[in-house]
């Protein structure tokens, strides 16, 4: 078996084609479709496993995951604001992006775990949902304070009814209600095709990342360094939380990946309306052009090693 | 056939604020609007419409001159500082004035 997961090679192809300005553009509808399938598959898989165990046992871990989601942006913000000397709005927006999660990165990590034969708690997708929102809320508060002018109604709508939350939670609920046997008829579409769908998704992500890549240096070396070092530091925090929660080694690794990943769907959309004075290009460049490729290509195997090291140390 | 003069307000802006724009339009009393996806390039960079929030929209409203002015002033006040937005107003002739 070759060392590199072929789905990762699709990402590399996308980046290369984008940089070479090849005549390659997937229609936006394809991207929407493919990402919807990924979100539903991940949700269904997690929900299916939730069906087989008492949910009450998870409450302590749910609280810890929410705490992790609040903690990460609070760590990132002062670093960006004082070490990076970024404006308050931009620091808060970046903190929200890095505290929140990337489902795409999580999907690649699942694929990695499957290839390596790593077992993990199958309900991990629940944690993806839980980690998505708190950091964005903290980011808005960091930027605005508790301001009366913030219109929370539309923001809450965007936060809790965004595509990723609805499809992940929806998938979890359907998986939970139907159980493993109930899902069998749709398993070929959602589970067997998962890798192929992920490959297409990563091809498109490669094209998108390459378009952002040209801006990577425009915002200075600090942003590049942050995009590479923040995921490393956060993965260690994720490992710590995973150990605290008593997860299996595979579960600890996946939590490290979640902590290390940065949002590029929910956070940009919400921050754009909640904190308009933040430059959206800075966060998107860091998250998409630096951190996402780093996590896909280097980060996931690295967090795997780190997990093994820290668990056995 | 009798023709009536109205204003056509065209707004080209970020897709991410579509919802908030529509609620503004309704609050100001616009009777209808048309939105199309748009691509292009301006001084805030290229908008390629290749995924989620990178796209632009082109929003068109036909209304009377007073409303067009009020809307234009409000949009300038509320969005110009932080969002990529182009706005222009043209005179148009309509056949059914009661609609606009």
The tens digit of pLDDT for each residue in B35-85 reads: 998 888 877 666 654 555 568 899 999 999 999 999 999 999 999 998 989
Task: Enter the DSSP assignment of A122.
Answer: T
Q: What is the DSSP code (8-state) at residue B40? A: E
Contacts of A20 (CB under 8 A, 6+ apart): none
| ipTM, 2 dp | 0.75
Chain A residues close to B17, C-beta within 8 Å: 272-273
**pLDDT tens digits, residue range A1-55?**
456 789 999 999 999 999 999 988 888 888 889 999 999 999 999 998 887 777 7
**pLDDT < 50 positions in chain A:** 1
Is A161 part of the contact surface with chain B (CB cutoff 8 Å)?
no
Q: Which of B26, B48, B52, B55 to mutate to test the interface with A (most CBs of A within 10 A)?
A: B52
Structure tokens at A231: 């995921």
Q: How far is the alpha carbon of B1 from chain A, nearest alpha carbon, in Å? A: 43
Nearest CA in chain A to B15: A269
Give the one of A154, A211, A277 whose C-beta lies nearest to B19's C-beta: A154
Cβ contact, residue pair A269, B53, below 8 Å: yes
Name the closest residue on chain B to residue A273, using Cα atoms: B17
Q: Name the packing angle between helices A59-78 and A249-260 (round to 10°).
A: 40
Q: Do A265 and B16 touch (CB under 8 A)?
A: no
Give the per-residue pLDDT at A292. 96
Alpha-carbon torsion angle A297, A299, A303, A306, nearest 10: 100
CA distance A202 to A208: 10
Q: Which residues pair with A103 in a beta bridge?
A: none
* Residue A292 neighbours by CB distance under 10 Å: 28
Looking at residue A148, what is its pLDDT? 67
Q: Do A277 and B49 touch (CB under 8 A)?
A: no
A154–chain B Cβ distance below 8 A for any pair? yes
**Euclidean distance between CA atoms A19 and A85, whole angstroms:** 31
Count contacts between A and B (CB, < 8 Å).
Answer: 39
Would you state the structure tokens that stand for residue A204, as one six-digit string?
A: 């498109």
pLDDT of residue A157: 82
- Chain B contact present for A208, CB below 8 A: yes
Q: Is B68 helix (H, G, I), strand (E, B) or coil?
A: helix
A 249-268 residues inside an 8 A Cβ radius of B:
265, 268
Under DSSP, the state recorded for A2 is -
Tokens of B82: 């932080």
Strand order in the sheet with B4-14: B34-38, B56-63, B4-14, B85-94
Predicted local confidence at residue B53, as pLDDT: 58
Would you give the end-to-end CA distance of chain B in angstroms? 17
CB contact under 8 A, B45 and A281: yes
DSSP B65: H
DSSP code at position B16: G
The answer to whether A203 touches A11, Cβ cutoff 8 Å, is: yes
**CA-to-CA separations, A134 to A40, A61, A101, A177, in angstroms, rounded:** 21, 15, 10, 26
Distance of CA B29 to the CA centre of its chain: 14
Q: Between chains, do A265 and B52 touch, taking CB under 8 Å as contact?
A: yes
Two tokens at A38?
Answer: 């990924």
Residues in B lying within 8 Å of A, measured between beta carbons: 14, 16-17, 19-20, 23, 45, 48-53, 55, 81-83
Give the pLDDT score at A178: 92
- The pLDDT score that the predictor gives to residue A127 is 94
Chain A nearest CA to B94, separation (Å): 35
Choose among A32, A273, A281: nearest Cβ to B17: A273
**Burial per residue of A6-15, b for 16 or more beta-carbon CB atoms within 10 angstroms, e otherwise:** ebbebbbbbb
User: Of the candidates A26, A208, A272, which has its C-beta nearest B16's C-beta?
Assistant: A272
């Amino acid at each position: 078996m070759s060392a590199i997961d072929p789905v990762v090679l699709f990402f590399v192809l996308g980046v290369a084609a984008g940089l070479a300005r090849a005549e390659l553009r997937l229609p936006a509808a394809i991207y929407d479709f493919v990402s919807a399938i990924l979100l539903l598959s991940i949700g269904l898989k997690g929900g299916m496993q939730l069906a087989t165990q008492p949910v009450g046992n998870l409450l302590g871990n749910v609280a810890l995951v929410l705490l992790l989601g609040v903690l990460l942006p609070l760590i990132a913000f002062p670093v960006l604001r004082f070490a990076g000397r970024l404006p308050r709005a931009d620091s808060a927006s970046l903190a929200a992006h890095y505290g929140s999660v990337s489902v795409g990165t999580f999907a690649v990590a699942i694929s990695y775990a499957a290839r390596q034969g790593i077992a993990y708690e199958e309900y991990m997708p629940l944690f993806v949902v839980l980690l998505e929102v708190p950091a964005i809320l903290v980011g808005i508060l960091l930027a605005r304070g508790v301001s009366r002018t913030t219109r929370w109604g539309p923001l809450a709508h965007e936060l809790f009814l965004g595509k990723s939350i609805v499809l992940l939670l929806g998938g979890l609920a359907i998986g939970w209600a139907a159980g493993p046997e109930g899902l069998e008829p749709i398993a070929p579409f959602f589970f067997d095709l998962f890798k192929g769908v992920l490959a297409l998704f990563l091809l498109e992500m490669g094209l998108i990342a390459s378009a952002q890549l040209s801006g990577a240096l425009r915002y200075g070396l600090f942003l590049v360094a942050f995009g590479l070092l923040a995921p490393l530091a956060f993965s260690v925090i994720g490992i710590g939380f995973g150990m605290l929660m008593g997860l299996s080694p595979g579960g600890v690794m996946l939590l490290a990946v979640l902590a290390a990943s940065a949002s590029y769907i929910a956070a940009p959309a919400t921050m754009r309306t909640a904190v308009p004075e933040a430059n959206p290009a800075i966060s998107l460049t860091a998250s998409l052009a630096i951190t996402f490729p780093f996590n896909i290509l280097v980060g996931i195997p690295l967090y795997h090693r780190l997990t093994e090291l820290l668990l056995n140390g | 056939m009798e023709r009536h003069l109205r204003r056509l307000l065209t707004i080209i802006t970020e897709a991410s604020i579509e919802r908030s724009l529509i609620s503004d339009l309704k609050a100001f009393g616009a009777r209808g609007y048309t939105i199309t996806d748009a691509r292009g390039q301006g001084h805030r960079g290229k908008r390629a419409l290749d995924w989620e929030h990178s796209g632009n929209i082109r929003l068109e409203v036909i209304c009377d001159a007073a409303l067009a002015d009020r809307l234009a002033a409000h949009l300038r006040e509320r969005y110009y500082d932080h969002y990529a937005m182009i706005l222009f107003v043209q005179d148009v002739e309509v056949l059914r004035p009661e609609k606009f």
